[in-house]
Amino acid sequence: MSIRTVTVYAASSQALDPVYIDAATRLGTALARQGYRIVYGGGGHGLMGAMADAALDSGAEVHGIIPEFLTRVEQGHQGLTSLEVVADMRTRKARMLEGSDAVITLPGGCGTFEELFEAMTLKRLGQFLGPIVLVNTRDYYRALLEFLRHSVAEHFMSQTHLDLWQTVAEPEAVPAALEQSRPWSARAALNTAAVQPRR
Ligand code: AMP
């Protein structure tokens, strides 16, 4: 696949174990080395900030998108290539995916989950076709991945939906996972329909 712009979802928390900060930093460096343009939530804290700092240090173009109300609580990252202020969270979420070739999800909380699940849902329905890669640092997403498999086992999702995302243990594995990802477009139409009745 030809990947140019990647969207990164990541934690805002500043209370994390250094192992997560390290993974976010290494992701920023790995994406910059690959020459990707990065779009993310525009925050200066947590894994978002660590990823953006490292990417900028390594020469990447980093575009932040932040809703207006958040700029009143926190400034947003001040050293970005560009920082876009939008009306609200919904607009931000849509803008973060516009023109994006791929989604990368670092560990995070409910904000990250929501963004990830929206990307998965849009892909399931053929509205976003790019790779979705979860960086599973310290097996953080184990329970979530288990629950998604449970959802398939209980027929809320189908077996093909397990191909909506890929996981990698180390951030350095992200570029290869993106470049080797199989195109989803052919399967998108099939998956647009609801899970079919069991025979
Ligand atoms: P969470 O994982 O709950 O910390 O949420 C992080 C995700 O939601 C990021 O990918 C951002 O797009 C968005 N977000 C949540 N809180 C903030 C914040 N304080 N500053 C910037 N973006 C945020």
Q: Which atom of ligand 1 is nearest to the CA of 112?
A: 2
Give the pLDDT of residue 176: 97
pLDDT 10s digits, 119-166: 999 999 999 999 999 999 999 999 999 999 999 999 999 999 999 999
* 35 conformational bin, left if phi > 0, alpha if psi -120 to 50, beta if neither: left
In order of their start, the domains of the chain are: 5-191 (3.40.50.450)
Q: Which runs of consecutive H residues, i.e. helices, occur in the chain?
A: 18-33, 46-57, 68-73, 89-97, 110-124, 142-153, 174-179, 185-192
Give the pLDDT of residue 192: 66
Ligand 1: which of 20, 78, 112, 144 to mutate, judged by most atoms within 8 Å of the beta carbon?
A: 112
If pLDDT is split at 50, 70 and 90, which confidence band does 1 have? low
Measured in whole angstroms, the distance separating CA 99 from the mean position of its chain's CA atoms is 14
Nearest CA to ligand 1 atom 17: 12
Question: Tokens at residue 144, please?
Answer: 């979530």
Residues 6+ apart with CB under 8 A from 143: none
Distance 136 CA to ligand 1 centre (A): 18
Ligand 1: which of 45, 48, 110 to mutate, judged by most atoms within 8 Å of the beta carbon?
A: 48
Distance 108 CA to ligand 1 centre (A): 8
pTM here?
Answer: 0.96
pLDDT 10s digits, 18-75: 999 999 999 999 999 999 999 999 999 999 999 999 999 999 999 999 999 999 888 8
The single residue listed with the structure tokens 């109300």 is 69
Among 88, 111, 158, which Cα is nearest to 8's? 111
Give the pLDDT of residue 73: 87
